[in-house]
Amino acid sequence: MAKQNTITARDGTGHVMLGGRQILMLASNDYLGLSTDRRVIAAITASCARYGTGMTIYPIFVISDEHSTLEQELARFLGVEDVLLTVSGGAANAVALTGLVGEGDFIISDADNHASTIDAGRLSRAQVKPYKTRDMASARDVLASHAGQGRCLLVSNGVFSMDGGIAPLRDLVDLCEHHQAILVVDDAHATGVVGKNGRGSLSASGLPAGLSNVFVTGSLSKALGGAGGGFLGGPRDAIAALRRNARSYVFTQGMTSAACAAALAALRRLKGDPSLHQQLWHNIETLQKAARKHGLTLLPSESAIQTVLVGSEERAIATQHRLLEQGLFVQAMTFPIVPHGGARLRLQASAAHIPETLEDAIATIAQELCA
């Protein structure tokens, strides 16, 4: 990797040292700024002193008390009966999709779902059918066409990572209840960000937690501490069965105790200090207002992900390079991450950002794109 793309230090204001220069990072998943929080770092240090770098044994055999405590507190926070921890958010999707359905069953998948969801569907050996993204008519047609032919699972992102929009979850819940289908919601970019105090996309959609046919997956490498790990939450009996039988859980080393300690400390910070979540949303609104002020059009978003559609891959990449020269790291999203002709710049706000720096950054981006 070229030296200019190597981060050598980070601080608590959303800046990084990259290529020997201080750069404002606008492409990080550290939505609450907790990856540099002193209490989170102290929790990791204490965990390493107690357990070493990790448990070094599969979680089906033994877990640490930090694993157990995080599962319990995260379940209460999300409002689900039980939580199973995994090595990553992608692994959580694999456990859900390969453990809840299999050969002879069907998976109905939003066309814009994350790659880990798509790959998990392939691993499940179930038949996978996509529906047009966030299009309820398409979802109904696809689901109805497979009614009565084995178990059926519908999977959707909660927050979509390429534009920040939220899935029509109220309609999806009703649809799955009508067809007795399982609903899996990937909340990787929603947990800690949207909903009441960051409780996720179901909360943001005004839905009750703990629905009997609904499972939630997510990542602990984003808003909740950034150290790694993932989770799958849902009904207690189903989660217990997945712990015993899901190959993607049984045959893996699992989440490290240090990552558990980080996520637990981050979760407690979020629950104990509502100003963190409030600051994130203040910064999101600051970014949006600055975009309107400077004539920069953002795609509709209900989360910390704010996107500028560019179209041309060459232009998006060139703009990213020019912005980096001006001290801003803004990620260009190009094929195959997005379709040909759909290149974009993705901006990600964090509670760590200083509002004035966001305003200045948007002014610079607008000058580059609107000239």
Handedness of CA 308, 311, 316, 319 (dihedral sign): negative
Over its C-alpha atoms, the chain yields an Rg (Å, rounded) of: 20
Contact between 209 and 79 under an 8 Å Cβ cutoff? The reply is yes
Can you give the pLDDT at residue 19?
Answer: 87
pLDDT at residue 1 greater than cutoff 60: no
What is the CA 150 to chain-centroid distance, rounded? 30
Give the pLDDT band (50/70/90) at residue 3: very low
Q: Average the pLDDT over each of 49-58, 150-159, 172-181, 301-310 and give the range with the smallest value.
A: 49-58
pLDDT in tens, 85-129: 999 999 999 999 999 999 999 999 999 999 999 999 999 999 999
What one-character DSSP code corresponds to residue 35? G
| Mean pLDDT for the stretch of residues 253-268 | 95
Instruction: Give the angle subtended at the CA of 201 by the CAs of 273 and 25, to the nearest 5°.
Output: 65
Handedness of CA 242, 248, 252, 258 (dihedral sign): negative
Q: Which SS3 state, helix, strand or coil, does residue 342 take? A: coil
Is 189 in the active site?
yes
Write phi, then psi, for 308 (nearest 5 degrees). Answer: -110, 115
| Mean pLDDT for the stretch of residues 291-306 | 96
pTM: 0.95
Can you give the pLDDT at residue 2?
Answer: 39
What one-character DSSP code corresponds to residue 198? G
Can you give the pLDDT at residue 23?
Answer: 97
* Percent above pLDDT 90 for the chain: 92
| Mean pLDDT for the stretch of residues 323-340 | 95
| Mean pLDDT for the stretch of residues 171-190 | 97
The one catalytic residue among 222, 257, 303, 350: 222
- Residue 218 belongs to what H/E stretch? strand 214-219
Find, among 216, 200, 211, 142, the residue nearest to 177 by Cα. Answer: 211
Map out the domains of the chain with their CATH numbers: 3-30+274-370 (3.90.1150.10), 38-272 (3.40.640.10)
Cβ-count burial 5-26 (b if 16+ within 10 Å, e if not): eeeeebeeebbbebeeeebbbb
The one catalytic residue among 15, 67, 189, 353: 189
Contact between 45 and 194 under an 8 Å Cβ cutoff? The reply is no
Is 289 in the active site?
no
Distance CA 155, CA 99 (A): 14
CA distances from 346 to 204, 284, 343 (A): 22, 13, 10
Distance CA 191, CA 233 (A): 12
Give the pLDDT band (50/70/90) at residue 25: very high
pLDDT at residue 285 greater than cutoff 80: yes
Is 161 in the active site?
yes
Contact between 231 and 74 under an 8 Å Cβ cutoff? The reply is yes
Whether cis (ω within 30° of 0) applies to the bond prior to 208 is: no
Mean pLDDT of all residues belonging to the chain: 95
Structure tokens at 47: 């965990």
